Structure 1
Amino acid sequence: MPRLMSSTNLRVFLAALCLASGSFLLISTWTRQRTLALYYRKLHDEHASFLHKSAARKMTFTAPETKEELDKPHMNNESRKSFLLDTPYCNIPDIDPFDPAVIGKLKRRGELLCTGNKLSVTFSEGSKLRLNWEKIKEDLDGDFKYCQYQAIRRGNRNSDFSFELGDLSESFDHDITIPPQDEFLRVHCYSQSEGKVTTDFHATVSPKQDVERRSLHRFERHKENPSLRETYNVHMIGVDSVSRLNFIRHMRQTREFLHKDLGAFEMSGYNKVADNTFVNIVPMTMGKFVNEIGWNENMNNVPFDKYPFLWKNFSQAGYRTLYAEDAPKIAIFVYAKEGFHEPPADYYNRPLAVALEKQRSVWSSHHHCVADRLETTMVLDYVTDFSRVFRDKPHFGFTFITRLTHDKVDLVEAADYAYVNFLRRFRDEGHFKNTVLIFYSDHGYRFGEMRDSYVGKVEERLPFFYLVFPPSFREKYPAIVRNLQINSKRLTTPFDVYETVKDILYFDGVAKKGDIRNRGISMLREIPAERTCEHAQILPHWCLCLEQKTLKPKGKLANKIGQAVVRHMNNVLLPVSHMCANLTLLNISHIVRMASNERVLRFADVFHDVLNQTIVYGRKTDAPVVYQITMTTAPGFALFEATVTFDPVSRSFKMGGDISRINAYKDQSFCVDNFILKKFCYCLNKKNEK
């Protein structure tokens, strides 16, 4: 067999080949791919370190190196836990976010900088419109003259699709207070020499007399509820099309801030219940499937005003309400639908979003920046202003941000900077002291090459989901905190979010058990471990719980897996083989096969949300199969329980998590001190022969 080139010689050879052909494409592509691979390897290592610190576990993996190894099933020592969820009737596989099968399909973008556009020389804070003198000096070099604004209002009162502009205001060259009726603004600023030089858009927030009068009366009545213990503000902030795994890969700063700074509860088993945004948001905000609310595609000219959204409950309880979205053409209740004839909330940014979309001159070429601000940041600033203005008054916000993450999976990393900055500012201004944040996505990425893989199917069904409570919550309500910790590893759905938000509105501080008979169970209540997709009404083609089948313990496959586990244990014992006996397989008492259901693996697409809904199935995707085995080894009659995953692509077995010793080893392993070795070691010393 010819000797392989060293990596250095290979690079020299490739460079020479490129020069000879007059093209640098090959070497640059190779270098770029290698750089990207190294970057994701670094992320993999950081993620492994994060898991090790938070859960006292370590992640390593190896890959077969030759075709012979690929063709021959072998054991791959991977001490990662096998299951994200491990309950009696729902095991969801714990996929490595940096799985080699995925890395080659990933791209990274980094921070999206809004440069090259005109600077925003004005900014809003609550009801104030302020001049940014630093930017004025930088961009206009002392040539500033004045600014004027026009109010942006809802156009046809019964339409979500139009807006109208008010008259130009008086000119101003200083900070001004905006009247409550002029919520949204288009601002023109002028220089002495060039005339109009900047156009910008702003949302302002100030108390509205009618809303304040109504809210005060309703909130006093709400507080009369004798079981009411706390009145928390609630913000629901959704990010379109970000899976839990992609959140780990690309929103690293946001994730770290949630875990380390905010003590957030991550619902790892949050499983979507339908295909797209609309059909997952309806269960979250109304507690029903779309077909149960009496809506279908033939009603695309019927507004959504009459439907029982969650924010109406908060309004009735005396909370000020906010509804905010970006990307108005594809908004949740507008895309191929009628939208709302009346504003659904007290503060509704749609007139601004529609006007902004029409003003092409202010957008960057990629349509993510408005002047020198990210559109996502503009929406989040509106949320922050709302919380700041009503800091001491009850309020509820529903925000859903789409454009940045909807079409390109690599732009999720650009979103990371916007969201971590928002969360940091929200924390620093003290808003979390009395606010519950629900931070989530509707589903994972639903298009592209990755979706056809098994990892892609898992990602699509498991969006990220977090709950953040005030810092004092853990101390005041430890029993409910315990429920949240338990539920972080239970099967959850958008129906549970609906029940959770209702529980927060009527918060009584009492820890309860959830009723498994209910489709939706509040996450503040302990969700039963026995819950299945059937209980939660997750249809089979969306359900990620693995199907279980008991195998014959005396079969060839069982023996092959048992022998592989024994080989792994003997490899672990190699450093102390002079003290510990070589183990052999004595007996297999139980083995269970767990695999994704056929409908998940063959699912291709779904057409229509309600009428004539058609599920399309295609070629079955290769997927890992998990085996749980209970076995006895000799000498010593040690009883072990192990989880082994078979990868059909690499044809390799991988250890899933720690091997459990389920009978006492007493003094059999007295000769070693390491707790891992003690599980496996049968000391050769005669003390064990007594």
Structure 2
Amino acid sequence: MLKSKWSRFKEFCCRRPGLVLLILPCILILTLYLISGNEIDNLQYLSFKSYNDTDIVDGYLVWNSKCHMLSKSPLDPSIVKFVKKEKFQVCSKSPLLTTITRDNNGNSILMINEKEAKHYKGLSCCWAPIIRPVPKKPRPQEKFDSSVKIEHCVDFGNSVTLPKEVELLMVSCKENKGSKATKDKSKAKYKKPKKAVSVYDNVHPVLNPEKVLDRLNISESGNATIGRQRKLSVLLLGLDNVSRLNLQRTLPRTENHIRVKGWLSMKGYNKMGENTFPNLMALLTGQNQADSYGRCKPTVPFGLDHCPMIWYNFRNVGFVTAYAEDEAKISTFNYLKVGFVDPPTDYYLRPYMIASEKVLSIRTRFGDKYCTGPEVTVERILDYAIEFAKTFLGLPYFGFFWMNSISHDTINGLSSMDAHILTKLEHLEKEGVMNDSMIIFLSDHGMRYGDIRNTFIGWYEERLPFIYIWLPEWFREEDPEAFQALTVNQNRLTSPYDLYETLRDILMRAGGEAISSSGCPKCRSLFKTVPMERGCEDAGVASHWCVCTAFQKEDTGNKVVVAGAQKIVDHIENIVKNYKNKKGKRLCSKQKVKKIHRVHRVLDLVGNSTSVTEYFYMIEVTPGDAKFEATVRYYGSGNYSISDEEVSRINSYAYSAKCLDFGQKRYCHCVK
């Protein structure tokens, strides 16, 4: 019986149709395995779908002959174990004791919450202006963009009208339950008077619109005479380190709200550099990373002041400008940089965050300053953004508000803010801001290190930050073609350079000028349809960061591969060997390759004939066990090249590089 079964099986396999029927299911199973592979080894597969005129193909965010960008689930099985819902925590059990309001005459009033004040006996409060001193001759070693000065604290009653020039203040309140000495009859002694106890400290920004009255040319009746054509205001709300998928995981209510309301999601938005600075510089200046450092010189006083930030161009045509960012130590233009000598915008909130962190008590959560005094740090930024937009409603403004404290060091911290961020966005709608302004809700990149980065989804998410865009109804009606193009572009490959070109488009519509993107000559405004046939090179995105790319796994023991890994270590050494202390001794250890975890050959989707082979590595070095991903180009005959912009650190170096406060900290493991 066994022989008869075997003979029938051989006969089935030997006939061509039978063989095909046997092999096809195996191929299908293998393909599905590769597609859904959870490990980083299965980076991406080469697709064989036919190309057609449709933008949307099942299983892909972007599909064309140059770009195969997979669509993945926010709860992919490989990362579910890393996902956790965090609860919101208040920073004070009581409502704020003080607030800033404006009266009918436009005066700013510091007020005490009388209802809350009843809980205290003998309450006394004082307020002190906080100023930002600017040195006449700033030097790089001076922290001129990180200094504040608190002036004399002046007592006040229930309220006080603030001088026009005050932009920032501290308020301090004490409770004095018993100020007089009393006699203790039982012991015939006098009790000493109780000392006043501090019960409340806070820092408030003061948004005074009179500061920009001359530019806006507003009459006493409040009517703007800034030109006949309506200008589109821009409000950018940014969350650091949040991928499109992580936004869906952590802010499900918020994401559902904005999607239902009709915000447009740029699903193919691919970052162009490793961290915040290059990605935001591409957005604000149109420059690539090399130009951002070479032309703008962020480590030199006045370097960033003379940098062509697009907010300067907006201000030149009558827009009111604002910039705010929390977590002062790691903010975009100050981390390993000197910042701005002069305030870069009309309303500059760095002094506010510096003072909040220096003067008030700090509660750390999610690795950052979750609470500054009685307020959640991220809400300080959001509340000011809303107040700024409300204040200049109907007038042209450009506001850039960036938040680090809730998402910089964790993929889950943002989940604690879902209800609160939703409330803020609903408040923008209630106040009429959404009927007035373009709102861009975005991030710079996804999580760059941690356990999730050891998965394919981690690699994928790091490169695809979220971006949602809202256009007011009046603009949609005025320029339906722009709205239609933006709608189409949701499933096209885009980059921060395209967003810069969009801001430049808005600027030029308002009568302003700005140079086109030097980092991406082919990039264009999202108000125009970007080409369907578009690859990362067309969008200014290097292959190292490109999610369109397909890979083929290579043998880690191959001689060419091993030599390439050594080139990565050599590149690191050429940089860190120059970092020395005052005695001339090395600060950073010399690294060696500990392990080549994986290496893939980058496949050419377009079919260009070239003698250059690109390899994508993940290596671990010693000492310190730092993990790097890097793109290395091999030209044959032992010739390799590596670009600093295509090397990324994928585990934390906050502790291992503590000895270095300049340069490339990601490469450094401090000498013990």
TM range (shorter): 0.5 to 0.7
Structure 1 residues 74 and 92: alpha-carbon distance in aligned structure 2, compared to 1, 3 A threshold:
closer
Mapped partners of 1:74, 1:88: distance in 2: 20
Q: Which residue of 2 aligns with 1:182?
A: 166
Q: Which residue of 2 aligns with 1:674?
A: none
Matching of residue 349 in structure 1 with residue 349 in structure 2: yes
Q: Which residue of 1 aligns with 2:328?
A: 328
Q: Which residue of 2 aligns with 1:467?
A: 469
Cα deviation 1:273-320 (Å, max 9, x = unaligned): 000000111110001113224538986233310011010011000111
Q: Which residue of 2 aligns with 1:561?
A: none
Q: 1:223 offset after TM fit, Å?
A: 3.6
Q: Which residue of 2 aligns with 1:136?
A: 117
Mapped contact 2:301–2:341 kept (Cα < 8 A): no
Mapped partners of 2:285, 2:335: distance in 1: 19
Q: Which residue of 2 aligns with 1:540?
A: 543
- Which of the numbers 96, 116, 122 marks the counterpart of 2:98? 122
Q: How does 1:257-406 map to 2 (within 5 A)?
A: 257-261=257-261, 263-293=262-292, 295=294, 300-303=299-302, 304-361=304-361, 363=363, 367-406=369-408
Mapped contact 2:520–2:540 kept (Cα < 8 A): no
Q: 1:107 offset after TM fit, Å?
A: 2.2
Q: 1:360 offset after TM fit, Å?
A: 4.8
Mapped partners of 1:414, 1:70: distance in 2: 44
Mapped partners of 2:524, 2:61: distance in 1: 20
Mapped partners of 1:125, 1:381: distance in 2: 13
Q: Which residue of 1 aligns with 2:61?
A: 84
Mapped partners of 2:457, 2:359: distance in 1: 40
Q: Which residue of 1 aligns with 2:531?
A: 528
Q: How does 1:31-70 map to 2 (within 5 A)?
A: none
Matching of residue 451 in structure 1 with residue 476 in structure 2: no
Q: 1:379 offset after TM fit, Å?
A: 1.1
Mapped partners of 1:270, 1:280: distance in 2: 12
Secondary structure in 1 matching 2:321? strand
Structure 1 residues 492 and 192: alpha-carbon distance in aligned structure 2, compared to 1, 3 A threshold:
same
Mapped contact 1:302–1:337 kept (Cα < 8 A): no
Mapped partners of 2:76, 2:292: distance in 1: 40
Mapped partners of 1:507, 1:269: distance in 2: 26
User: Which amino acid is the alignment partner of residue 257 of structure 1?
Assistant: H
Taking structure 1 as the reference length, what is the TM-score of the superposition? Answer: 0.65
Secondary structure in 1 matching 2:361? helix
Cα deviation 1:461-492 (Å, max 9, x = unaligned): 00000111113333343222210110011111
Q: Which residue of 1 aligns with 2:558?
A: none
Mapped contact 1:542–1:600 kept (Cα < 8 A): no
Mapped partners of 2:267, 2:164: distance in 1: 42
Structure 1 residues 111 and 490: alpha-carbon distance in aligned structure 2, compared to 1, 3 A threshold:
same
The range that moved more, 517-526 or 450-459, is 517-526
User: Which amino acid is the alignment partner of residue 283 of structure 2?
Assistant: M
Mapped contact 2:167–2:206 kept (Cα < 8 A): yes
Percent of pairs with identical residues = 29
- Alignment coverage as a number of residue pairs: 490
Mapped partners of 2:275, 2:648: distance in 1: 17
Structure 1 residues 480 and 339: alpha-carbon distance in aligned structure 2, compared to 1, 3 A threshold:
same
Structure 1 residues 614 and 88: alpha-carbon distance in aligned structure 2, compared to 1, 3 A threshold:
closer
Structure 1 residues 156 and 111: alpha-carbon distance in aligned structure 2, compared to 1, 3 A threshold:
same
Cα deviation 1:34-57 (Å, max 9, x = unaligned): xxxxxxxxxxxxxxxxxxxxxxxx
Mapped partners of 2:30, 2:507: distance in 1: 54
Mapped partners of 2:353, 2:409: distance in 1: 19
Secondary structure in 1 matching 2:88? coil
Mapped partners of 1:487, 1:256: distance in 2: 20
User: Which amino acid is the alignment partner of residue 239 of structure 1?
Assistant: L
Cα deviation 1:105-130 (Å, max 9, x = unaligned): 222213233245x6521122353323
Matching of residue 94 in structure 1 with residue 71 in structure 2: yes
Tell me, which stretches of 5 or more residues in structure 1 are unaligned? 1-68, 550-591, 620-690
Structure 1 residues 421 and 89: alpha-carbon distance in aligned structure 2, compared to 1, 3 A threshold:
same
Mapped contact 1:147–1:188 kept (Cα < 8 A): yes
Q: 1:534 offset after TM fit, Å?
A: 1.3
The range that moved more, 372-381 or 106-115, is 106-115
Mapped contact 1:216–1:318 kept (Cα < 8 A): no
Mapped partners of 1:474, 1:401: distance in 2: 29
Q: 1:602 offset after TM fit, Å?
A: 4.5
Q: 1:349 offset after TM fit, Å?
A: 1.1
Q: Which residue of 1 aligns with 2:560?
A: none
Taking structure 2 as the reference length, what is the TM-score of the superposition? Answer: 0.66
Secondary structure in 2 matching 1:182? coil
Mapped partners of 2:72, 2:539: distance in 1: 23
Structure 1 residues 616 and 352: alpha-carbon distance in aligned structure 2, compared to 1, 3 A threshold:
closer
User: Which amino acid is the alignment partner of residue 343 of structure 2?
Assistant: P
Tell me, which stretches of 5 or more residues in structure 2 are unaligned? 1-25, 37-55, 103-107, 139-143, 178-195, 553-602, 607-612, 620-626, 631-641, 651-672
Q: Which residue of 2 aligns with 1:641?
A: none
Structure 1 residues 177 and 424: alpha-carbon distance in aligned structure 2, compared to 1, 3 A threshold:
farther
Mapped contact 2:489–2:529 kept (Cα < 8 A): yes
Mapped contact 1:364–1:371 kept (Cα < 8 A): no
Q: How does 1:379-528 map to 2 (within 5 A)?
A: 379-507=381-509, 518-528=521-531
Mapped contact 2:296–2:306 kept (Cα < 8 A): no
Mapped contact 2:168–2:352 kept (Cα < 8 A): yes
Mapped contact 1:154–1:162 kept (Cα < 8 A): yes
Mapped contact 2:62–2:68 kept (Cα < 8 A): yes
Q: How does 1:176-215 map to 2 (within 5 A)?
A: 176-193=160-177, 194-209=196-211, 211-215=212-216
User: Which amino acid is the alignment partner of residue 521 of structure 2?
Assistant: N
Cα deviation 1:149-189 (Å, max 9, x = unaligned): 11111023452021101222231223x33223211111112
Mapped partners of 2:248, 2:27: distance in 1: 29
Q: Which residue of 1 aligns with 2:577?
A: none
Q: Which residue of 1 aligns with 2:80?
A: 103
Q: 1:142 offset after TM fit, Å?
A: 4.8
Mapped partners of 1:316, 1:163: distance in 2: 28
Q: 1:353 offset after TM fit, Å?
A: 1.1
Mapped partners of 1:299, 1:370: distance in 2: 28
Q: 1:373 offset after TM fit, Å?
A: 1.9
